[in-house]
Amino acid sequence: MNARLPAPRRSAIVSGPPAAPPRARLGRKLSLVLETYVALPLFALVLVAALWTTAFHFIDKEQRDARQAARDDTRELVDTYEAQMARSLAGIDQTLKLLKYAVEQDGASGALATLRRQSLLPPSVLFTVAVANRDGLVVASNPPARPLDVSRVTYFLVHRAADGGVPYVSQTLTDRTKAEPHLHFTRRINDASGRFAGVAIVEVDPGYFTSAYEHGREGERGLLGLVGADGVVRALRVGEQTSWGQRIDLARLPDGQVSLAPTIPDGLTRFLGVRRLHGYGLIAIVGLDADEQMAGFARQRSAWLAGAGIGTAVLLLVVTLVSAWSWQVARSRRRERRAQETYAAASEASVDAFFVLRTVWAADGTVADFAIEATNSRAEEMAGLPKEAMRGMLLCEMLPSYRRNGIFDAAAKVALEGGVDQAEWHAQAYPMRGRWLHRQVVPVEGGVVAIVRDITERKQAEERIVHMAHHDDLTGLPNRTLLRLRLEQNIAQAAHKGWSLALVFVDLDGFKLINDGLGHNAGDELLKVVGKRMRACLRRGDTLARFGGDEFVLLLPGVGAKAQSLAPLLEKLRQAVHAPVQVAGQSVQVSCSMGVVMYPRDGLDANTLLMNADAAMYRAKDGGRNNYQFYAREMNASGEENLILLDGLRQSLEATLAGAPGGGLSLCYQPKVDLKTGRVFGVEALLRWHHPEHGPVSPQRFIGLAEESGMIVELGEWALRTACRQNQAWRAAGLPPITVSVNVSPRQFEERKLVARVAAALRDSGLPPDALELEVTESLIMRDLAQSVAKMRDLEAMGVSLSIDDFGTGYSSLSALKSFPISRLKIDKSFVSELAANPDDQAIAMAVISLGHKLHLRVIAEGVETEEQCAFLRANDCDEMQGYLFSRPVPPARIAELLATAQQFVPAEVAA
């Protein structure tokens, strides 16, 4: 979309807006309040407040009126009930008085008959009239009833005790003659001398006093009843339920007033009116249920609230809609105003250069040029001209090169067709010459706006990232990713031009020994030096890449078709790598094994060439290392053979562990001899494998495969357990006790459970710990010195002895050696093989023997095969030896024979 160009601002943009004066701030606030979207909601809030205030006022008034009406109704009902009860009680008392008089005149037996003849007795359906003599026996009653003794009843005891001159009203109770409850109204009867002569009794059903209950007046949950002066209810009716006997706190029932409170027997809140019935010790109570009395008010209150709620909702809806519309209008006005203000401020503060260009049209309707109308400060810096000078200039007059490099054409296309143009270019014009720029051209009304940014730093950062992604951090050489890219590019180029290229896979021999013995820092330094040496041997167009670890790959394009033409270069590389290197204060040497492939002879794609070069490199390692091999097709068969061999080893291990006969794995034992006594003091357990198809397999072939695959851990544990059981079997057979030595591989030694597995093997076999020796290499210990020493000390604490195997081939320091908890050093057979004639090997052997004795260690030489070697070792105080000179590795039965016959080694010079 096209946008209207804002008018250029000439005023400078300062770092922050100046503080507005108080009057200006007040004016802005007043103008904000006068906005419709603010004023209308405020006015609506006032209307809502007035609406709800009015509603609550009328609700409160109607509530007061409803409560007053309920109080008035309660007062009227209690007045009526009081009058009714007064008449009923007066009639009952009149009957009592007549009965008393008749008894005093005619005696108890004739009194009732006299009153009956005169029709002065109340109806017998509602009332029972009776006379009790001074002994408490009911002597007459109407209607007639069985004799009854009331001498222990409360009313009888009260009248006998004193003549109060007033009737007594009992609590509601039952007696032997009537199962249903009733009230007893009684008066004292005196004889002619004024002494107690008995009691006149009128019995009344309690429902008689609540029969005036009407649902039309009291409602469904109203209350009507009589309460005694003692606070005990004599009769109480709520709805259709009549009850008695409850106790009421009379102090909370003020006479003659109407109160609103929870009441018995159900705890409902009622308007309660109370009247005392003087002369009878009774209180009349009337209650109207509050919810029933206020039901009309509740309906009216709901109507008021619903009306106020609906009015509020309608008002808020209207106000919301109008305010939202007003807010959108005001927002659009502010956005338009701020856009104009922000454009000037943003363009000045931006790191981008802004050029507002007005289109200059040609007569044929094409774009002839662009006139500069406005710019910002950053545009001044990029153009090298002040804004005043640029205003009105034609773009192509200021920068003529823009017609040639396509920038003008791109801007003209945006002005004609719309859309957005973005591009990067390398500036050639002063003052931005040599820098990378990015432009974005957008259409506006009457022209275009060009936004230009300096992206030089971003480009440099991208180049650094690309370099890091394609180069090795340690050596700075191309990494595997860049090698593959270059290899694919060179293959495509060679295929197009009919050229040949060579690929050399280089692996350092002995690097792991240095890396483990001297530490990773020393290994890293060695890789840097070797990388520099190899790079110095190559041409400018060749590529040397670090493939990973201690592996390098050389890409040699444009070489001859004959592979032998590379021999001088390969020999030069071999010699450069093999030259001594000073690392970590020591002079070390490594060699390299190289595998060479040629394109297109040995492969047509990158994967095939790399795979075949790797196979050739492994053939060089198998050939004794420190040499190079050209790829031949049969080399891939070696890898397949290793896989088949590894699978066979796995099957043999599983069969052996399962106890299957002829599993293929077994242990042979080579005796160890004391050079001073000639006595066999121990044996070394050596692993042997008989392949079911290929027969015996050399340990040099399958041990390395087992180590690489991790199978060595299971193999080593089986060998340890088997050797422990065999040694214990020899002991159980009564043979002289000896120690058995078991080799521990690097993978096995690094297992966290090594100590626990050794303890389990000893425990399960019953072999004493001092009859077991574990042999470890010094390079293995130096991988993690602290952890290795800690593990060795755990084994030593268990009673197991330790020896260092192949001593002299690693890079352990003397300071580290003295901290090892070991008991024996073993001179590697590489130093023993030429011991009779090689002065260097003799010097090393003598140094190891002397060092061991200084550290209070025994020294054993392995691989002793000749009398000359033995004589030299004896002459230089070597303690022990093992080798073919005394015995090859033999089965367990042969060891038993040697021990049973106490066969000893007798050197030739001693025998002579």
Residue 662 confidence (pLDDT): 72
pLDDT at position 249:
82
pLDDT of res. 783: 64
Q: Which residues of the chain have pLDDT under 70?
A: 1-34, 176-177, 336, 339-349, 634-641, 779-780, 782-784, 806, 808-816, 906-912
Question: What's the pLDDT score for residue 341?
Answer: 65
Three-class secondary structure assignment of 257-271: CEEEEECCCCCCEEE
Question: Residue 675, SS3?
Answer: coil
Task: Give the pLDDT confidence score for residue 9 in this predicted structure.
Answer: 40
The answer for residues whose C-beta is within 8 angstroms of residue 180's C-beta and 6 or more apart is: 174, 205
Q: How many Cα atoms are found within 13 Å in the side-chain-facing hemisphere of 468? A: 6
pTM: predicted TM-score of the whole model, two decimal places: 0.43
- How would you classify the pairing of strands 138-142 and 500-509? unpaired
Q: Which CATH class is domain 1-21+350-470?
A: alpha beta
Q: What is the pLDDT of residue 704?
A: 74
Same topology between domain 1-21+350-470 and domain 35-329: yes
pLDDT of res. 648: 81
**Burial tier of 360 (Cβ tally within 10 Å: 0-12, 13-18, 19+):** middle
> Distance between CA 85 and CA 83 in Å, rounded?
5
| Four-residue CA torsion sign, 634, 639, 645, 648 | negative
CATH number of 35-329: 3.30.450.20
Q: What is the DSSP letter of 39?
A: H
CATH 3.40.50.300 given to domain 642-901: no
- C-beta separation of 899 from 679 below 8 A: no
In the chain, what are the domain boundaries? 1-21+350-470, 35-329, 471-631, 642-901
Residue 421 CA: distances (Å) to CA of 365, 414, 857: 21, 7, 83
pLDDT number for residue 782:
67
CATH 3.30.70.270 fits 471-631, yes or no: yes
Predicted local confidence at residue 225, as pLDDT: 92
Instruction: Give the β-pairing of 282-289 and 353-361.
Output: unpaired
**CA torsion angle for 903, 904, 907, 911 (degrees, to 10)?**
-70
